Every structure is written in structure tokens, then in C-alpha cells.
Amino acid sequence: MQSQPELWHGTTILTVRKGGTVAIGGDGQVSIGQTIIKANARKVRQLGKGDVIGGFAGATADAFTLFERLEAKLEQYPGQLMRAAVELAKDWRTDRYLRRLEAMMIVADKEVSLVLTGTGDVLEPENGIAGIGSGGNYALAAARALADGPLDAEAIVRKSLDIAADICVYTNRNVTVETLKA
């Protein structure tokens, strides 16, 4: 069976951890091919009881399914984001329905930031900065350059997403940012 070419583009999600704060931000553009379908999608949100934040790249319905599954894991393992993420990754990798979902997620709580993929990866960025989506590498590079400067985590996320929007045609400036303080 041949896989279908990727038609959905249009996400940049970035997380920065600095000075006791973690921020996750994302742009609002959803495109199919060369057409912008929606400019104000909300791809970053609070999860669980508000003690976890997350953002997604990929198919929207798939990402919402994964967010719901992660919230269920967080209820099962309260206050243990790493454990909940590992359990979700196991299910995502082995469950016949879930393994067809096409999305990536960045999630964070007060202690840890994680990138979750459908291949079973649960990755913790060593410098507290990670980016995913079509403009993720542009935002990641900008955030790494700004990390040693005077800006706080949220300001770095906003500036980096702005820089990514200058480079990636699938990224816009309609940004949502969620933060947690330690």
C-alpha cells in the first residue's frame, strides 16, 4: 500500500524553558497544499487540570485524539507527565488505530518538556528548547540564538515564532502561547 503524499502543512510549535518558566507557542495557520484554509487555529492549550501545556503539529483530529489520550494517562498517573507520556507512546506505537495517527506533540509541566512522536519517541530536549512542524527548525534556531539574552521564555517563543513566519510560508503570525511557572 502506497502512502498518500502529505497535503497538510502549516504548523510551527516551539517550547522554551528559562528562568523557572516554560512556554509553548504555536502559529495559527492550517494549509492544504498551497491554500490557507484557516489562519487562527488554536494548536496550543492547557491539558489535564491546567498543570500541563501542549502543542501539536499534524492532522488536527489526530492531535485532538492524542491530547484526549494523554489527558486520560495524566488522570491515571497524576503529577507524572513523563510516565503518562511514555504510556501514551507505548499505546500510540502498538495500538492498531492509534499508530495510524499523524501528529507530533510537545508537552510540558513545571519540571519537564517532552516531544512525543508516533514512532514511540519521548524526547526531552537537553537545553529546554524544542520545535516541531514545518517551521519548527527555524523557530528552534532563533530560540537557541535568543536563549542567552535578556528575554524571558514567553518573549523568546514569541520572537522566534515571528522569525519563523518570515521564513516558512506555512507559518503565520497568529500566535497562541501558554506558560507555566515553577
Tell me the CATH number at 69: 3.60.20.10
What percent of the chain has pLDDT above 90? 68
Q: Are 171 and 10 in contact (CB under 8 A)?
A: yes
Looking at the structure of the chain, the number of domains it has is: 1
What's residue 7's pLDDT? 42
Question: Is residue 158 a part of any domain in this protein?
Answer: yes
Statement: residue 52 has pLDDT above 50: yes
pLDDT band at 4; cut points 50, 70, 90? very low
Statement: residue 6 has pLDDT above 80: no
pTM confidence score = 0.91
Q: Is 35 a catalytic residue?
A: no
Residue of 11, 12, 15, 171 with catalytic role: 11
What's residue 99's pLDDT? 65
**3-state SS assignment for residue 2:** coil
Range of the domain at 44: 8-181
Question: Is residue 175 a part of any domain in this protein?
Answer: yes
Amino acid at position 27, single letter: D
Question: Is residue 2 a part of any domain in this protein?
Answer: no
Burial (CB count within 10 angstroms: exposed 0-12, middle 13-18, buried 19+), residue 53: buried
Question: Is residue 1 a part of any domain in this protein?
Answer: no
